[in-house]
């Protein structure tokens, strides 16, 4: 049991990775569509690349979406509307008219008798309400058939048979002229206009129900293909009916062939493919990015982002497949590049697109566009802390999407007449969503403890609390750190390393000297050296401890691990040679272990650059009357000595890059110590 526990403790990092591998695979499989994959890949407008295809079974030809949509529109356009008839309104209108006529009719003003006016109005009201009066405005033609619902009975009418209140003036004028009652025309119109009330209204609910019922009866099929019938010949262009028949065969294949009996085999196939994708990711990290592979937090971060992209795409596809390009997939390589490097960003992006190929429709078109957009993201996004760069890159990504989609559409359709321009809006929305990268990076930094260029820019501010404290307590060390930062940044730019990271690392690499600043020569204001009163071994320990104390101060101030790495490695496992030599002179011998920094040695280009720049800058203070040749020889000696000690064995830095760094350091030191003209006093 004890051995088992010991084995578990020893391999807990590997066990965690296996667990992460299994969980990620299961989650991705859960999100993948649970249907078989049609074994033929085809695209509209392209030749059929396989042998002649014959129907493996009987199946129906499905109507395409456009045809079904058109038929639905025709049903809606030709649907017979239902109108509700209220028979109780007529009696109330007639009674109200007689009451108002009695009040307004004056015998001395009109020749037409009141009884004649009442009779005429009664006939008019009866005629109007026979088929119904409506005050609603509709776009129906006069000959449009309508259903008039009177209680439980339905009567057919033409829309023109309904009386429109807007025609009242014309109707009154015709009646009074026919009966020579012109003197009461205004009176009759005014009263009728006031008392007329609509008794026919459109029954929207019943009309919509009838339309829905008719739509449900639509046949989604338009024919049958018999088993053995030839569907398409080799080299034939996939378009029109051929394309729709192939789509129907694919749909039938997925619904008919794949059942519960072979569902297990489907899961086995998915498991193998998804596992291969994640296995490739692990192998890539192990062989080419061991610093990521050995950090479980960083590995978890990468897997989380892959799952997030697959989950968001699946979620959007459930709403509507047209919205698939709204998902900002390019945010994945952008974020990974911000935290790691472009190669990691592109590799993970490619693997994620391969997984999404199982989910999205028109997978070839989708994958092609996303591959190109991902490459553009990697090539264009640089110095993310500069806000303008992100906007420019997002604009370029959106343009690539639009151009790529337009090209595919032209290839498939052969024209632009049917181009749906609103689809370009999805790409613009995708670009806007990609701008969410900045707040997402901040969120990831807090959750996973990572550091991006944006955070590095904040840390490089010399007015920050920690650097202010360093400048106050150890001004000489602070000045030394600024000089080292300038040298290291220039060197990093020369070989293509992360210049922002190495600059920030240089600013903080000696913060451990704050606790005992006068023990370091750059902070001694006078010629008194505190080490003269100490044993060489004690002096060496004080010097060595500034690394350990620097790590403690960094952790207390929540500096990222990537910055702490510079503090740990800037002296590597080098020897405090001055005090080691002094000990040997005084005692005759010395234990080397007492005078060696604890390490580790640098394990990246950036940490190696800092070691070189720090050693050269610190030692350059001892140069007397430096000349160009002296400086060149001096730089060569220090860096060659570090190489001889094996300080750069773990850093992925080449001899060529070291030579380039030497040239930069020589040039910079020559500029610093250039000879001045002596001016007369």
Say what the pLDDT of residue 348 is.
96
| Alpha carbons 603 and 651: distance in angstroms, whole number | 4
Q: What is the pTM of this model?
A: 0.62
The burial class, CB within 10 Å (0-12 / 13-18 / 19+), for 372 is middle
Say what the pLDDT of residue 353 is.
95
Contact 118, 101 (CB under 8 A): yes
Q: Supply the angle between the helices 342-356 and 263-288 in degrees, to the nearest 10.
A: 170
Beta-sheet strands, E only, within 391-549: none
Beta bridge partners of 164: 134
Beta bridge partners of 202: 83
DSSP tag of 645: T
Mean pLDDT is lowest, of 244-253, 270-279, 548-557, for 244-253
* Percent of the residues in the chain that have a pLDDT greater than 90, as a whole number: 28
| Alpha carbons 25 and 267: distance in angstroms, whole number | 11
Helix (H) or strand (E) holding 225: strand 221-225
**Residue closest to 202 by CA, chosen among 139, 294, 126:** 139
Mean pLDDT is lowest, of 16-25, 304-313, 517-526, for 517-526
Say what the pLDDT of residue 386 is.
64
How do beta strands 133-134 and 163-164 pair? Answer: parallel
Contact 672, 624 (CB under 8 A): no
DSSP tag of 650: T
Is 453-672 in CATH node 1.10.3210?
yes
**Residue closest to 162 by CA, chosen among 203, 199, 205:** 199
Count of Cβ atoms closer than 10 Å to residue 41 Cβ = 11
Alpha-carbon torsion (382, 386, 390, 393), positive or negative: negative
Say what the pLDDT of residue 677 is.
46
Most confident option among 62-66, 94-98, 184-188, 243-247 = 94-98
**Backbone angles phi and psi of 181, in degrees to 5:** -110, 40
- The domain ranges of the chain are 19-26+263-448, 37-63+219-257, 75-215, 453-672
Say what the pLDDT of residue 6 is.
66
SS3 636: helix
CA angle 553, 558, 560 (to 5 degrees): 105
**Residue closest to 474 by CA, chosen among 533, 532, 550, 536:** 550
pLDDT digits 0-9 by tens, 427-462:
888 888 888 888 888 889 888 888 887 788 888 888
Distances in Å between the alpha carbon of 310 and those of 237, 579, 650?
Answer: 33, 59, 36
Per residue in 438-470, is it b (16+ CB within 10 Å) or e — as a string?
bebbeebbeeeebbbbbbbbebbeeeeebbeeb
121 CB contacts (<8 Å, ≥6 apart)?
97, 101, 188, 191, 192
> What token pair was written down for 43?
């695209």
Q: For residues 317, 321, 322 and 327, what is the CA-based torsion angle, rounded to 10 degrees?
A: 30
Distances in Å between the alpha carbon of 236 and those of 43, 240, 304, 326?
Answer: 12, 12, 44, 34
pLDDT digits 0-9 by tens, 308-343:
999 999 999 888 878 888 999 999 998 998 888 889
- Is the preceding peptide bond at 600 cis, omega within 30 degrees of 0? yes
| Alpha carbons 599 and 544: distance in angstroms, whole number | 10
More confident site: 332 or 142: 332
How do beta strands 230-232 and 53-54 pair? Answer: antiparallel
Say what the pLDDT of residue 4 is.
62
| Alpha carbons 428 and 443: distance in angstroms, whole number | 24
- The size of the chain, in residues, is 681
Please check the confidence at residue 66 and state whether its pLDDT lies above 90. no
**Backbone angles phi and psi of 149, in degrees to 5:** -95, 110
Say what the pLDDT of residue 482 is.
94
| Alpha carbons 510 and 614: distance in angstroms, whole number | 10
Please check the confidence at residue 524 and state whether its pLDDT lies above 70. yes
Say what the pLDDT of residue 601 is.
92
**Backbone angles phi and psi of 307, in degrees to 5:** -60, -40
Say what the pLDDT of residue 536 is.
79
H runs (alpha helix) in 154-261: 168-179, 185-195, 204-216, 240-252
| Alpha carbons 328 and 321: distance in angstroms, whole number | 15
> What token pair was written down for 203?
């029954």
| Alpha carbons 573 and 595: distance in angstroms, whole number | 10
| pLDDT band of 9, cuts 50, 70, 90 | low
Mean pLDDT is lowest, of 207-221, 222-236, 300-314, 635-649, for 222-236
Alpha-carbon torsion (414, 415, 419, 423), positive or negative: positive
Most confident option among 7-11, 79-83, 390-394, 677-681 = 79-83
The burial class, CB within 10 Å (0-12 / 13-18 / 19+), for 667 is middle
| Alpha carbons 499 and 661: distance in angstroms, whole number | 13
SS3 622: coil
**Backbone angles phi and psi of 374, in degrees to 5:** -65, -40
Question: Position of tokens 């190495």?
Answer: 502
The mean pLDDT of the chain is 85
Mean pLDDT is lowest, of 243-252, 464-473, 606-615, for 243-252
> What token pair was written down for 346?
């592109």
| Average pLDDT of span 114-122 | 85
Question: Position of tokens 């404290």?
Answer: 469
Q: For residues 111, 113, 118 and 124, what is the CA-based torsion angle, rounded to 10 degrees?
A: -50
Q: Supply the angle between the helices 475-495 and 605-620 in degrees, to the nearest 10.
A: 130
Q: What's the helix, strand, coil split of the chain in %, to 5?
A: 65, 5, 25
> What token pair was written down for 242?
């051929």
Give Cα 82 to chain centroid, integer Å.
49
């Amino acid at each position: 049991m004890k051995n088992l526990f010991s084995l578990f403790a020893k391999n807990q990092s590997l066990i965690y990775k296996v667990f992460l591998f299994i969980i990620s695979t299961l989650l991705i499989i859960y999100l993948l569509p649970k249907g078989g994959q049609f074994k033929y890949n085809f695209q509209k407008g392209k030749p059929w690349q396989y042998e002649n295809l014959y129907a493996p079974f009987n199946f129906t030809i499905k109507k395409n979406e456009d045809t079904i949509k058109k038929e639905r529109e025709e049903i809606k356009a030709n649907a017979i509307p239902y109108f509700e008839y209220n028979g109780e309104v007529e009696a109330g209108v007639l009674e109200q008219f007689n009451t108002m006529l009695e009040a307004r009719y004056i015998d001395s003003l009109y020749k037409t008798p009141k009884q004649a006016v009442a009779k005429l109005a009664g006939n008019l009201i009866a005629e109007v309400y026979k088929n119904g009066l409506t005050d609603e405005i509709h776009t129906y033609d006069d000959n449009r058939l309508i259903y008039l619902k009177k209680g439980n009975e339905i009567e057919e009418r033409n829309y023109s048979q309904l009386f429109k209140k807007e025609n009242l003036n014309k109707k009154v004028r015709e009646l009074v002229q026919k009966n020579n009652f012109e003197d009461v025309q205004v009176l009759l119109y005014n009263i009728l206009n006031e008392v007329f009330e609509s008794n026919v209204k459109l029954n929207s609910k019943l009309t919509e129900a009838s339309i829905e019922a008719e739509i449900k009866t639509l046949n989604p099929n338009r024919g049958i293909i018999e088993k053995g019938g030839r569907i398409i010949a080799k080299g034939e262009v996939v378009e029109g009916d051929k394309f729709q028949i192939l789509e129907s065969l694919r749909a039938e294949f997925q619904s008919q062939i794949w059942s519960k009996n072979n569902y297990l085999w489907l899961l086995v196939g998915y498991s193998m493919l998804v596992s291969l994708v994640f296995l490739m990711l692990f192998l890539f990290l192990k062989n080419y990015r061991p610093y990521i592979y050995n950090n479980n937090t960083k590995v978890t971060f990468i897997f989380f982002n892959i799952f997030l992209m697959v989950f968001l795409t699946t979620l959007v596809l459930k709403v509507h497949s047209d919205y698939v390009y709204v998902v900002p997939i390019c945010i994945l390589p952008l974020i990974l590049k911000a935290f790691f490097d472009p190669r990691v960003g592109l590799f993970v992006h490619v693997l994620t697109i391969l997984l999404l190929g199982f989910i999205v429709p028109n997978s070839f078109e989708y994958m092609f566009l996303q591959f190109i957009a991902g490459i553009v993201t990697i090539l264009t996004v640089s110095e993310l802390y500069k806000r303008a760069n992100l906007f420019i890159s997002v604009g370029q990504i959106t343009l690539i999407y639009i151009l790529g989609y337009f090209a595919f559409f032209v290839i498939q359709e052969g024209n632009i007449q049917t181009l749906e321009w609103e689809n370009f809006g999805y790409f613009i929305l995708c670009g806007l969503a990609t701008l969410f990268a900045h707040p997402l990076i901040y969120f990831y930094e807090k959750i996973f403890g990572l550091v991006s260029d944006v955070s590095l820019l904040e840390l490089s501010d010399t007015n920050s609390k920690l650097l202010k404290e360093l400048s106050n307590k150890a001004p000489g060390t602070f000045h030394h750190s600024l000089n080292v930062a300038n040298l290291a940044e220039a060197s990093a730019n020369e070989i293509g390393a992360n210049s922002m990271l190495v600059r920030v690392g240089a600013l903080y690499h000696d913060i451990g000297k704050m606790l005992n600043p006068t023990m370091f020569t750059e902070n001694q204001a006078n010629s008194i050296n505190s080490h003269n009163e100490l044993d060489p071994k004690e002096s060496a320990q004080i010097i060595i401890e500034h690394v350990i104390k620097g790590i403690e101060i960094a952790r207390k101030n929540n500096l990222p691990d990537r910055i702490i790495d510079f503090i740990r490695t800037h002296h590597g496992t080098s020897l405090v040679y001055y005090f080691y030599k002094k000990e040997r002179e005084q005692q005759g011998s010395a234990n080397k272990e007492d005078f060696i920094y604890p390490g580790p040695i640098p394990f990246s280009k950036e940490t190696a650059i800092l070691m070189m720049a720090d050693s050269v800058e610190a030692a350059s203070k001892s140069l007397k009357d430096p000349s160009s040749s002296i400086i060149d020889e001096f730089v060569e000696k220090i860096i060659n000595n570090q190489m001889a000690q094996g300080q750069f064995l773990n850093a992925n830095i080449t001899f060529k890059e070291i030579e380039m760094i030497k040239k930069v350091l020589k040039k910079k030191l020559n500029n610093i110590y250039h000879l001045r003209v002596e001016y007369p006093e």
